[in-house]
Structure 1
Amino acid sequence: MSAPNSSNHTPKIDPKALRSALGTFTTGVTIITTQADNGEPVGLTANSFNSVSLEPPLVLWSLAKTALSLPIFNTAEHWNVHVLSMDQQALSNRFAARGEDKFKDLQLDQGITNAPLLSQCSARFQCKTAFIHDGGDHVIFIGEVLDFDQSNLPPLVFQSGQYALTARKPWQDVSLSQADAPLECSYTEDLLGYLLGRAHFQMLKGMQQELAKYDLTSSHFFALSVLAIRDGLTLAQINAHIDYTGQALTQGQLDQLIHANLLAYRESKTTDAEVFLTEQGRQASLGQIAQAKAIEDELIDELGRGDVTALKLLLKRIIHQTDPGLPDLWSTDSN
């Protein structure tokens, strides 16, 4: 009995499902540029960029056969690949869209060829067309790298149909515990609440010196921070903004800030009187902000700008997910 023909049992590939599966492969985001025969700059967003060879230096990318710019790239002798940095998402969107002047108001650098060279990228590769291959519904362009440069700007990446940021994973898992064996309890160092809390208090420990200059407590600090953003609030309004801390500014603590000439009543003192920062209070708040930024800069130096930015985005998502309905401090109508 002959073996069945395996080709008769090959399942039909669903293009949408295949695209979704391929989307799990995280890629960088690039903009490919060239110059048309009439001198017009041409560019498009692509995430099909890849390395081919180091010796000789070759890279590739692919373009859909339905793309309007395909005839231009088919005849182009030179093109540039720009690996976008994490701050260039808007630029990626611009070059992915049709029907607009993509190069309007862009500052271009001087390259070694006539292909447009964008700035502020994580890396750039100036290439000469070496081979063009048919690739199904795409055309594959292979280029010889004539010159390249890179910066320390973290790259923008694309994963499962969305922009993303990279966070470097250490070669070994980071453990806070020095014990050889974990304690027999369910409260572990990987508990998110513990990690957030410990990181918060350790990071802000450096704020204590700044607060000590004015003999301030954390409640005082929260109140001054709120008023530095939105001046002229009542005690109740201040407490509405700092409710998430689990602390509340008392009338006695408010009086301490007024006695220290950090705050003042806008009018005569009443139970619902508005308070505002004095000049001394504003300088104290600016000193606290400067100290907080100095602590952040130290973290950026240690962790890298990309990791810190990714952390900020994750924390914003956590804040949004756990928000109990606090008034928006930065909104113009949160009063």
Structure 2
Amino acid sequence: MAQVEFDNQAFRQALGSFTTGVTIITANAPDGTPVGLTANSFNSVSLDPPMVLWSLAKTSLSVAAFSEAEHWNVHVLSQHQQDLSNSFAAKGEDKFSGTKLETGISSAPLIADCSARFQCRNMVTHDGGDHLIFIGEVLGFDHQPLPPLVFQQGQYAMTARKPWEAVNLSSEPTAPECSYNEDLLGYLLGRSHFQMLYRMRKVFDEQALEDSHFFALSVMNIQQKLDLEQLNTHLDYTGHSVSEDDMKFLVSQDLISKVDEESYQLTSSGRETSLHHIAQAKAIEEELIDELGVGDVMALKLLLKRLIHKTDPGLPDLWSTQDKPL
């Protein structure tokens, strides 16, 4: 059989299709110096006895230290530890500077606040081509419900769990010719938005406020001094706008006041009302986090930010300080 030319770069890209977690492996060099590096080659080997493995390039400067170490620890990083991952992936710096450590079974450094940690005794090292494969016996472990940091196609990523219920495709109702069904992105975004806003409307009704008033107060809580045209520019994407009559109503409720003939700003009562709205929105978000989990909510936020960026019609930056008074 003729030998097929092997494309190492394509092979690397194909391997990148397999999404992995991100770990930091730590140990002590023979002289007691702590060593650590970022790796995504971690995997389980056996449950009984409990064993795990990871691999290290033979060209790594840490090969000697890990080869001679009696113990090493594996830290499965959480999503908020991306900077830590970058630090331990770099060369020529004090990786442990400022890193929160805890006391473990051995003297190997034990990093805090990870999704999971495995404290291991180095059992055997195997040759694996251009890598060494370290197999260790797990002496102790711990984990906490922190969403893990993951890696795919050379980039950090987030995970989102699918609904637990299995979907029987054969039992789905036949979609009408317009193909409008519950899987349409616009429907999902719209329904989730209005269902969350439904809870907020109970607060609005108590204050005799409409959706447009809520949007206006929210914008003015960030951009402190705006005229009517500037305000409506920020509200265009919502499909709502405020009129002179709306502004007169908000003035009559002591929620906003006129700064000059054209510009408005929040009163202290208006700011308190807006902050109350924000507190209610955050309470709803906390309930969602309890139901969905921190990881899923973070992944959802990331995807929504990307969607907003891709669909932005050219709205002014709401959080820009350019137009704020000094």
Q: Normalising by structure 1, what TM-score?
A: 0.93
Q: CA deviation at 1:180?
A: 4.7
Match of 1:187 in 2: 180
SS at match of 1:294: helix
Cα 1:173–1:253 change in 2 (3 A) is farther
The structural deviation recorded for 1:106 is 1.4
1:82 pairs, out of 75, 79, 89, with: 75
Equivalent in the alignment of 1:204: 197
Q: Shift in Å at residue 227 of structure 1? A: 1.1
In the alignment, what sits opposite 2:309? Answer: 320
* 1:66 aligns to 2:59 (yes or no): yes
Q: CA deviation at 1:277?
A: 1.1
1:285 maps to which residue? 274
1:39-94 deviation digits (Å, cap 9, x = unpaired)? 22111000000000011111000000111111111111111000001111111111
Aligned counterparts of 1:23 and 1:186: Cα–Cα separation in 2: 35
Deviations 1:139-166 (A, max 9, x none): 1100110000000001111111111111
Which of residues 199, 209, 213 is equivalent to 1:216? 209
Question: Secondary structure of the equivalent of 2:137?
Answer: strand
- Aligned equivalent of 1:49: 42
Q: Please give the alpha-carbon distance, in whole angstroms, between the structure 1 residues aligned to 2:178 and 2:32.
A: 69
Aligned counterpart, 1:3? none
Give the drift of 1:38.
2.3
Distance in 1 (alpha carbons) for counterparts of 2:138 and 2:311: 49
- In the alignment, structure 2 segments of 5+ residues that lack a partner are none
Q: Return the offset for 1:111.
A: 0.6
| Other structure's SS at 2:79 match | coil
Aligned residues: 322
Paired residue secondary structure (1:166) = coil
Give the whole-Å Cα distance in 2 for the aligned partners of 1:197 and 1:180: 21
CA change 1:244–1:328 in 2 (3 A) is same
Structure 1: give runs of 5+ residues left out of the alignment. 1-5
Q: What corresponds to 2:163 in structure 1? A: 170
Matched with 2:100 is 107
| Greater Cα shift, 179-188 or 229-238 | 179-188
Instruction: Tell me, yes or no, if the aligned pair for 1:29 and 1:158 is still in contact at 8 Å.
Output: yes
Offset at residue 184 of structure 1 (A): 4.6
**Counterpart residue identity of residue 52, structure 1:** V
Tell me: CA distance 1:324–1:180, structure 2 relative to 1, closer, same or farther (3 Å): closer
Corresponding letter in the other structure for 2:237: Y
Instruction: Give deviations 1:2-23, integer Å, cap 9, x for gaps.
Output: xxxx3xx231211111000011
Q: Deviations over 1:155-190 (max 9, x none)?
A: 111111111111111344569xx9754445421211
Match of 1:40 in 2: 33
Match of 2:142 among 149, 163, 179: 149
* 1:242 match: secondary structure: helix
Are the counterparts in 1 of residues 25 and 36 from structure 2 also a CA contact under 8 Å? yes
**What secondary structure is seen at the aligned counterpart in 2 of 1:87?**
helix
**Aligned residue for 1:296?**
285
1:37, distance to aligned residue in structure 2 (A): 2.1
Other structure's SS at 1:170 match: coil
Q: Secondary structure at the match of 1:216?
A: coil
Tell me which residue corresponds to 2:152: 159
Q: Which moved more, 1:283-292 or 1:229-238?
A: 229-238
Q: CA RMSD in A?
A: 1.6
Contact 2:56 2:133 in 1 (8 A): yes
Distance 2:175 2:12 in 1: 43
Whether the aligned pair in 2 keeps the contact of 1:327 and 1:334 (CA below 8 Å) is no
CA contact (8 A) 2:223 2:323 kept: no
In 2 relative to 1, CA 172–10 (structure 1 residues): closer, same or farther, beyond 3 Å? farther
Query: Residues 276 and 173 from structure 1, CA distance in 2 versus in 1: closer, same or farther, beyond 3 angstroms?
Result: farther
Distance of 1:39 and 1:333 partners within structure 2: 53
What amino acid is the match of 1:287? H
Instruction: Say whether the 8 Å CA contact 1:127–1:147 is kept in structure 2.
Output: yes
Amino acid at match of 2:31: N
AA aligned to 1:227 is: M
Deviation at 1:279, TM superposition (A): 1.2
Please say if 1:16 is aligned against 2:13.
Answer: no
Q: 2-side partners of 1:38 and 1:212: how far apart?
A: 69
Name the stretch that deviates more: 238-247 or 311-320: 238-247
Q: Match for 2:182: what amino acid?
A: E
Q: Is the deviation greater in 235-244 or in 123-132?
A: 235-244
Distance in 2 separating the partners of 1:35 and 1:240 = 59
Opposite residue 188 of structure 2, the aligned amino acid is L
Task: Give a deviation string over 1:196-246, Cα, whole Å, max 9, x none.
Answer: 001100111100121122211111000100111121111111111111111
Q: Tell me if structure 2 keeps the 8 A contact 1:210–1:287.
A: no
CA pair 282-182 structure 1, distance change in 2 beyond 3 A: same
